[in-house]
Amino acid sequence: MFVTMKDVVKRYNTFTALDHLTLSLQKGETLGLLGPNGAGKSTTIKVLTGLTSANAGEVKVFGEEMRGKTNIIEIRKRMGIVPQDLALYETLSARDNLEYFGKLYGVHGGELKKRVDETLDILGLADVQKKAPKKFSGGMKRRLNIGCAIIHKPDLLILDEPTVGIDPQSRNHILDFVAETAKQGTTVIYTSHYMEEVEKLCTRVCIMDTGRVIADGTVDEIASRSIFEEVTTIEIKEPAPSLVESIKKIQGVLSCAATDSGNKIISIKSKSGSHNLARILEVAAPYTLLGVSTQKPTLEDAFLSLTGKSLRDEGGE
């Protein structure tokens, strides 16, 4: 395994941030690490990068144990870390920032110039390379922050909420860049509060809660663990509040409500395994149907089912 965490425990006084956490990552994977506030995601990253040490358990990165100052430094040289808080020198130019971080990672001379040019071009910052980040928009700063983390072409790239509070153009730049980086063989750990980003980028998803992994698999595998089988939406010609009450009585229906002021569009959530679309249509048969659509469970449905919390509305770890 490229990354292994086995029975890892991390305590802060009486608070247990990681509770016998077990997590592994193969080379070339793009792992989406999800969890509500306080789940332990940030602590997991800190332990993986050697910024804090575990109280118990085994942590291996690139097959090496995260133990001892010298060993941790050597492992970090092969990592790229994009923290939630920007790590830039605001008064240096974009190019100078990239050159500085490149030199810290041991890249020099013609190779450094080549990588800086490539990075500026990929992240859409070539035209502003001589400007200081203090004059940049939030999205441009985020892009430059990523550039500083990948200038040395790391084997493992860790991105912690890289698209928070930025414009759509910068978000697209970042997502395209991460996807391309993964295609070139870099292993990626990606945390985000935006489910659509994880669904687009990640080959695998781990959902954490209370310091443990509570679900692990592909997006489709995780989505299948939702308590919702599907969402069925029907549109009828005439208002029919009584139809809502009738549908609620169908076995397996978890919720049913009109979603418009005219009571003509009805949304129904069904329990996994109920397969009750035919029964819904049977109850609705006396009414004039204008449309029927179904939506399979999403990653967000599964997240809510597993944690009982909304990812998008929670901040923090």
For the chain (length 317 residues), average pLDDT per consecutive 10?
Answer: 94 95 95 92 93 94 84 90 90 96 94 95 92 92 93 94 86 89 93 90 94 93 79 89 92 90 88 86 93 86 79 49
Give the model's pLDDT for residue 166. 86
Nearest to 26 by CA among 217, 187, 203: 187
SS (H, E, C) the chain: CCEEEEEEEEEECCEEEEEEEEEEECCCCEEEEECCCCCCHHHHHHHHCCCCCCCEEEEEECCEECCCHHHHHHHHCCEEEECCCCCCCCCCCHHHHHHHHHHHCCCCHHHHHHHHHHHHHHCCCHHHCCCCHHHCCHHHHHHHHHHHHHCCCCCEEEEECCCCCCCHHHHHHHHHHHHHHHHCCCEEEEECCCHHHHHHHCCEEEEEECCEEEEEECHHHHHCCCCEEEEEEEEECCCCHHHHHHHHCCCCEEEEEECCCCCCEEEEEEECCCCCHHHHHHHHCCCCEEEEEEECCCHHHHHHHHHCCCCCCCCCC
Select 3-223's CATH number: 3.40.50.1000, 3.40.50.300, 3.10.450.30, 3.40.50.150. Answer: 3.40.50.300
Sequence ranges of the chain with CATH classification 3.30.70.100: 228-296
Nearest to 56 by CA among 97, 22, 31, 104: 22
Distance CA 2, CA 103 (A): 26
Distance CA 9, CA 286 (A): 59
DSSP SS3 for 154: coil
| Structure token digits, residue 21 | 């956490």
Whether this prediction's pTM lies above 0.85 is answered by no
Distance CA 212, CA 40 (A): 8
Please give the CATH number for the structural domain made up of 228-296. 3.30.70.100
Distance CA 277, CA 234 (A): 11
Give the model's pLDDT for residue 314. 45
What's the Cα-to-Cα distance from 294 to each of 85, 105, 139, rounded to whole Å?
A: 40, 51, 36
Sequence ranges of the chain with CATH classification 3.40.50.300: 3-223
